[in-house]
C-alpha cells in the first residue's frame, strides 16, 4: 500500500491511514470504508449485511465495534460512543478534524488531528510525521504530527548516567564548540516512542543513550530500519 489520497482518505502506508471527517461521521458516527482499504480493515469479500468485529483503542481505552457491509457493496465502520462524544464536542467548538488510524497487532488506534494545526519537528524520536508534500519550494505544506511527551527528568537522569559524550563516536560538544556547547547532548530512546501504543515505564540506564546530533540522525536515517547505537558504532570501525 503506497501513499495516496482517495476520496476523503489519505493512505499513508500499510499501518497508517487518515480519514477527513465528514457529515456521515459527525451525524451518524459511521465511516465509509473504501475498496482500497479492505485489506487494512480485513473486510475482503464481505457479502451484503455481513458484519465483523474489530478492536479500537481511543485514548488508551479499548472497546469492540462493528464493520458491516451494505448493498453497494461497501462497508461502514461504527466508531463507537467514545469517539462520537469527542466529535460532538469538537463540532460545538467549530473545529474540523482528521482522524488518524494506526493498525498494530490487529488493534486500531484512533486519534484526532485538528485540520488547522500545522506542526513540524526535527526529531523523529519525538514525532511521527505524515506529510502532504509539494513539488514547489517555499509553498506551505500540511504536516500531520503525533507528538509523544517526554519527561525532562528522564532526560536529565540519562545524562547523569551516560554523560555528555556521544556513545557512538565520543564527540564532546563543549570540547569542540566551547561554552556554547556546554551541557549539550541529544538523548535517544532505544525503543522509539512512536512504536509504543501506550505509556510505558522508561529506564534511563537501559532504555536511553546520549548521542551527538550526527549520530542521532544516522540512527534514524532509514525509516524502515532504525539502527541501535551499537550497530552504528560498528559501522564506524
Domains of the chain: 4-117 (2.40.330.10), 152-235 (no CATH)
Confidence of residue 146 (pLDDT cuts 50, 70, 90): very low
The β-bridge relationship of strands 9-11 and 4-6 is antiparallel
Compute φ and ψ for 66, nearest 5 degrees.
-110, 145
What is the share, in percent, of the chain residues with pLDDT greater than 90?
Answer: 35
Confidence of residue 12 (pLDDT cuts 50, 70, 90): confident
DSSP state of 12: -
Question: Is pLDDT of 145 > 60?
Answer: no
Question: Is pLDDT of 160 > 90?
Answer: yes
- The three-state (H, E, C) secondary structure of the chain, written as one string: CCCEEECCEEECCCCEEEEECCHHHHHHCEEEECHHHHHHHCCCCCCCCCEEEEEEEECCEEEEEEEEECCCCCEEEECCHHHHHHHHHHHHCCCCEEEEEEEECCEEEEEEEECCCCCCCCCCCCEEEEEECCCCCCCCCEEEEEECCCCHHHHHHHHHHHCCECCCCCCEHHHHHHHHHCCCCEEEECCCHHHCCCCCCCCCCCCEEEECHHHHHHHCCECCECCCHHHHHHHCC
Question: Is pLDDT of 132 > 60?
Answer: no
pLDDT at position 117 is 40
Using one digit for the tens of pLDDT, what is the confidence trace for 69-112? 877 667 899 999 889 888 887 766 655 678 889 999 899 999 88
Distance between CA atoms of 148 and 128, rounded to whole angstroms? 9
Confidence of residue 196 (pLDDT cuts 50, 70, 90): very low
Mean pLDDT of 184-198: 70
Average pLDDT, the chain: 78
What is the share, in percent, of the chain residues with pLDDT greater than 70?
Answer: 74
pLDDT at position 151 is 62
Using one digit for the tens of pLDDT, what is the confidence trace for 55-66? 999 988 999 999
Distance between CA atoms of 81 and 76, rounded to whole angstroms? 15
Using one digit for the tens of pLDDT, what is the confidence trace for 17-57? 988 887 778 888 899 898 889 899 988 888 888 889 999 99
Name the burial class of residue 159, with classes exposed (0-12), middle (13-18) and buried (19+) by CB atoms within 10 angstroms of its CB. middle
Amino acid at each position: 500500500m503506497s501513499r495516496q489520497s482517495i476520496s476523503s482518505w489519505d493512505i499513508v502506508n500499510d499501518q497508517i491511514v487518515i480519514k477527513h471527517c465528514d457529515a456521515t461521521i459527525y451525524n451518524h458516527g459511521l465511516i465509509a470504508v473504501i475498496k482500497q482499504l479492505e485489506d487494512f480493515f480485513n473486510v475482503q469479500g464481505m457479502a451484503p449485511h455481513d458484519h465483523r468485529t474489530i478492536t479500537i483503542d481511543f485514548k488508551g481505552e479499548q472497546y469492540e465495534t462493528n464493520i458491516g457491509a451494505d448493498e453497494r457493496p461497501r462497508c461502514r465502520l461504527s466508531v463507537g460512543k467514545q469517539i462520537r462524544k469527542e466529535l460532538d464536542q469538537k463540532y460545538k467548538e467549530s473545529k474540523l478534524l482528521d482522524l488518524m488510524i494506526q493498525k498494530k497487532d490487529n488493534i486500531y488506534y484512533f486519534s484526532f488531528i485538528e485540520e488547522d494545526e500545522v506542526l513540524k519537528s526535527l526529531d523523529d524520536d519525538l514525532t511521527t510525521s505524515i506529510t502532504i508534500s509539494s513539488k514547489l519550494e517555499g509553498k506551505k505544506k500540511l504536516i500531520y504530527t503525533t507528538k509523544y511527551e517526554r519527561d525532562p527528568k528522564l532526560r536529565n537522569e540519562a545524562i547523569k548516567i551516560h554523560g555528555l559524550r556521544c556513545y557512538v563516536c565520543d564527540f564532546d560538544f563543549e570540547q569542540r564548540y566551547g561554552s556554547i556547547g556546554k551541557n549539550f547532548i541529544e538523548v535517544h530512546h532505544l525503543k522509539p516512542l512512536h512504536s509504543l501504543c501506550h505509556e510505558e515505564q522508561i529506564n534511563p540506564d537501559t532504555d536511553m543513550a546520549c548521542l551527538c546530533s550526527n549520530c542521532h540522525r544516522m540512527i534514524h536515517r532509514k525509516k524502515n530500519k532504525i539502527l541501535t547505537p551499537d550497530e552504528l558504532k560498528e559501522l564506524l570501525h
